[in-house]
Amino acid sequence: MTTHQINGDHLTIAKIKEILESNCQLELSTVSKNKVLKCRQYLDDKMSSGEHIFYGINTGFGSLCDTHISKNDLSQLQRNLVVSHACGMGDEVPHEIVKLMLLLKIQGLSYGHSGVQLATVERLIGFYNNDIFPVVYEQGSLGASGDLAPLAHLSLPILGEGHVDFDGVRMTGAEMLAKMNWEPLVLQSKEGLALLNGTQFMSSYGVWCMIKAEDISEKADLIACISIDGYDARINPFNHNVNAIRQQTGQIETARIVRETLAGSEIITQEKAHVQDPYSYRCIPQVHGATKDAIAHVKGIFEREINAVTDNPTIFPDEDEIVSAGNFHGQPLAISLDFLAIAIAELGSISERRIYKLIAGNRKLPAFLVANPGINSGFMIPQYAAASVVSQNKHLANPASVDSIESSNGQEDHVSMGANSATKMYRIIDNLYKVLGVELLNAAQALEFRRPLKSSPKIEAIVKEYRKKVPFVENDTYLQPLIAASINFVKSI
């Protein structure tokens, strides 16, 4: 089994995808261990004099920041913080996101600016390496002061509290510790705050969505190409010259992909009876390309964030300074996730319009893509279903980051609501796979009415594989299983 060493190197989205897909183990490098130990020792030395007051280390939290806590109560203070903040609600966070939360929390603590014990980081690594998934809930974070509630649930099992999923079984944190022959950790000063402050809930959803966004953007291009030939659209809008003069990177790239995917198609090169195509076909470079540009922008924001220290206070041993600031505020992520939500939702919006055109009975295609419309409803209702999902995505794409609700008696008077941006984005991605599945169902059906002409070798190869899962529909049949199979095919290609 391979190992990824956490050593302070810059993590990319691609590297995280590789770590997850290879199922490799994590370990702290000697350099990272020394940074964690040095910071902890600095904090212990600082606290031993009893002369200094630092927020969240020997004070209460939030609006209780002026309440001094005695030295003897510092460990209890940190435990109380974790258990009192575990107030999550709603659906459980999927395991793939929880695993990312563990990875990113470990990464953030490894820089040696958080004051945690080495044992705390090692315990989180133990969770990650053994596929121990703390039970975390989607709702409860305001996206400022960090993702407090979700990260509290992530941290509870360290103390023997909360619940985990382990070896396919739901058990208590105490049961898990006993099974692993681990003792509950006793948190030292500042540790609870280091675990709970941070943007790892938002970041983990964002990283997962970035990985899927890049995947789904490629698939949207490919399926659009099948629709282009199914609809007998023109190639001219995808010429290099007309796209290059606009100078938009994503647009130029999309046009190139379409040209290369359709290379060798007999359908695209046949003489056309129509002068131009509807926007949903003609403007694929502009719309799909804008989404590519949005993905590239958001990727940069998230790659900076996952390599950041986002808890509070932040400790600088070499500068003999402990700073209470606001790196936990999720505004960069909230705005970026809302931007990405709009961009991904638009791929679904234009996909549904292509579906609509394919069933309209134009371009020598039969109405609703069946040979005998009337007695057969054909593909009338899959378009309804896609439209329903697209409409839901439009609602989900409304920005969460423009909202803020004051909390903690006014001490936390502006929050990002980035956690809501993150969980909405997750649903939008899932919905887009559904819409593209319906488009592929329609596009492949339409392509059969172009026979004996063939599409490009690349498209013909994909359609051949698709037909092993989803047959051509001669007469009305039970469509839901075909739609489900089509969605699964889109996810697999």
pLDDT of residue 66: 65
Distance between CA 206 and CA 482 in Å, rounded? 31
Q: Which three-class secondary structure state does DSSP give residue 351?
A: helix
Placement of tokens 């903040």 in the chain? 85
Q: Any idea what the CATH number is for the domain that residue 273 is in?
A: 1.20.200.10
Distance between CA 58 and CA 49 in Å, rounded? 12
The DSSP-derived string for 34-63 is HHHHHHHHHHHHHHHT-----TTTSB-SGG
Does one domain contain both 49 and 111?
Answer: yes
With a CB cutoff of 8 Å and minimum separation 6, the contacts of 260 are none
pLDDT of residue 48: 81
Does one domain contain both 106 and 190?
Answer: yes
Residue 92: both structure tokens together: 């459980």
Q: Which three-class secondary structure state does DSSP give residue 344?
A: helix
Does one domain contain both 289 and 185?
Answer: no
Please pick, among 55, 231, 426, 433, the residue that the annotation labels catalytic.
55
Residue 6 per-residue DSSP state: E
pLDDT of residue 207: 98
Does one domain contain both 254 and 143?
Answer: no
pLDDT of residue 72: 72
Placement of tokens 């606290």 in the chain? 47
Distance between CA 459 and CA 226 in Å, rounded? 7
Domain count of the fold of the chain:
2
Residue 181: both structure tokens together: 């022959």
Does one domain contain both 313 and 193?
Answer: no
- Adjacent-strand bridge partners of 322: 315
Specify the pairing of strand 137-139 against strand 89-92: antiparallel
Helix residue spans in 359-450 (DSSP H): 380-396, 418-448
Range of the domain at 341: 205-492
- Adjacent-strand bridge partners of 336: none
Q: Any idea what the CATH number is for the domain that residue 114 is in?
A: 1.10.275.10
* 145, HSE (Cβ side, Cα atoms, 13 Å): 27
Looking at 154, 181, 198, which one is the last position of a domain?
198
pLDDT of residue 62: 63
Looking at 142, 170, 198, which one is the last position of a domain?
198
Does one domain contain both 24 and 94?
Answer: yes
Is there a catalytic annotation at residue 42?
no
Does one domain contain both 215 and 116?
Answer: no
* Beta carbons of 282 and 242 less than 8 angstroms apart: no
pLDDT of residue 14: 96
Does one domain contain both 135 and 270?
Answer: no
Distances (CA, A) of 442 to 245, 354, 428, 448, 492: 33, 9, 21, 10, 18
Of 87, 179, 100, residue with least CA distance to 138: 87
User: Residue ranges of the chain with pLDDT lower than 50?
Assistant: none
Q: How many helices (H) and strands (E) does the chain have?
A: 19, 9
Q: Which three-class secondary structure state does DSSP give residue 161?
A: coil
Looking at 167, 198, 229, which one is the last position of a domain?
198
* Beta carbons of 403 and 383 less than 8 angstroms apart: no
